[in-house]
Amino acid sequence: MARKMLINGELEKSNQEESHYDFDLFVIGAGSGGVRASRFSAQFGAKVGICELPFHPISSEVIGGVGGTCVIRGCVPKKILVYGASFGPELELFLFEALLYSKPILFSQTLKFISCEIYNFWVRLDARNYGWELNEKIDFNWKKLLQKKTEEIIRLNGIYKRLLSNAGVKLYEGEGKVVGPNEVEVTQLDGTKICYSAKHILIATGGRAQRAAIPGQELAITSDEALSLDELPKRAVILGGGYIAIEFASIWRGMGCTVDLFFRKELPLRLYFKGFDDEMRAVVARNLEGRGINLHPRTSLTELVKTEEGIKVVTDHGEEIMADVVLFATGRVPNTKRLNLEAVDVELDKTGAIKVDEYSRTNIPSIWAIGDVTNRMNLTPVALMEGTLFAKTVFGGQPCKPDYSNIPCAIFCIPPLSVVGLSEEQAIEQAKGDVLVFTSTFNPMKNTVSGRQEKTIMKLVVDAETDKVLGASMCGPDAAEIMQVSVVFVQYFMNS
């Protein structure tokens, strides 16, 4: 099969004297983006090799696993824990209903009691698989949920390996690094090193959680360790105001832990980048507090000290608090440190991310990069998109540029927040004319019986002149799934 590649925005002409390589493409990193790029490139007829570090739930510089962050220590295990944490309030609601309808008198009350019993039977049945038991009291088994989580990521790790095998991609387990513009060195598990040549090299090594540089930082954990703790903490302190911090605050609180959340801004989540506007950020903060999470805005940590009672946490306001675990959710950094990129002069930015052009190509023509290692938009669906378009560009004869506009995202706090398109602030700043904002606030039906004062809010931002939807957001039960409909409106410029 004839293959064409992109040079300066144009497809190259066939070269009959092309040099021989071991592979048409060698990929370093078998996460979501790397696996997608490998499979699709192979479908276009390319001979593809890929390497990945050995599997383990907690990553390090020498441990990883096929499936990458999302599958092994990110989206998948996190959502399993979120689902597990969500059952706590559900079971509390069941106990409340059982007490409320323990002596039904009216026929309508009897029907409502029966319907609640049927619903809550399935809640309890599902809850057992997430570690919950409801007898005379509510009990939670953290180790059972942890085992279920581990079983699922092992299953998915195997599926990703089979996807590569079925596509004809050769998988090497070991650490890969670039030793030349067309050469990769793989250090195998036994320490032996093998070099492979490739016409194209794709780097898809993702990112890693970073720690705050304060005294006692070694006493803290990152999200990797938080997903695999041997024991569930009773007292948790979290540093950070991003999605990881908020999600773990919701998880641990839902499982009965005391949680203190410290962040630098007045409200959690960032105003820019993903389109979290002030109104939705305030809703999230209010919900977190309503669930019993202690918020500490405009506060950072200055020191951690190990004591007999636990970890003493010292803030920049001079406050002290005791914790069983301290989570640093202070951002992630690209995995480029051990790739040997300086040897071939691949350009990096100040964060260590690989610089690429609009086609995901580095300054070295034969080397490309996709996903979190480029620090463009660090979301799994984006890495998948970049991997697909890389394959089409380099091996499919279809030059494609990733489009980063109107990409939806969700924060899996409890209840979740989801957004797509522009925030209200972004729309006002970017719009040429007036902007209309529509909001709807209501009490979810499941809260009408429990009495929980937690409102769902939905928001649309619309161009006043054209009536086009510029952005949408929602915070409430099932927001991530419901927002899928709004994505169509925003991406395809449908009218409100």
Distance (Å, rounded) from C-alpha 186 to C-alpha 116?
Answer: 58
CA 280 to chain centre: 19
Is residue 246 marked as binding? yes
Is residue 431 marked as binding? no
User: Does a cis peptide bond (omega within 30 degrees of 0) precede residue 415?
Assistant: yes
The 10 Å CB-count burial string (b at 16+, else e) for 264-299 is eeebbbeeeebbbbebbbebbbbbbeebebebbeeb
Largest CA distance in the chain: 89
Is residue 68 marked as binding? no
DSSP secondary structure string for all residues of 118-187: HHHHHHHHHHHHTTEEESSSEEE-HHHHHHHHHHHHHHHHHHHHHHHHHTTPEEEEEEEEEEETTEEEEE
Is residue 256 marked as binding? no
**Is the separation of the CB atoms in 38 and 371 below 8 Å?**
no
**Is the separation of the CB atoms in 457 and 280 below 8 Å?**
yes
| Residues in CB range of 55: below 8 A, 6 or more apart | 63, 64, 65, 66, 72, 157
Is residue 428 marked as binding? no
Q: Tokens 């006493």 correspond to what residue?
A: 219
Is residue 63 marked as binding? no
Distance (Å, rounded) from C-alpha 395 to C-alpha 41?
Answer: 6
**CA 199 → CA 7, 119, 137, 149, distances in Å?**
14, 58, 63, 39
Distance (Å, rounded) from C-alpha 238 to C-alpha 44?
Answer: 46
Distance (Å, rounded) from C-alpha 489 to C-alpha 186?
Answer: 46
DSSP state of 328: E
Is residue 65 marked as binding? no
Is residue 176 marked as binding? yes
Neighbours of 238 (CB within 10 A): 29
Query: Which residue ranges are tagged as binding site?
Result: 79, 176, 240-247, 331, 372
Query: Which residue ranges are tagged as binding site for FAD?
Result: 79, 176, 372
Query: Which residue ranges are tagged as binding site for NAD(+)?
Result: 240-247, 331
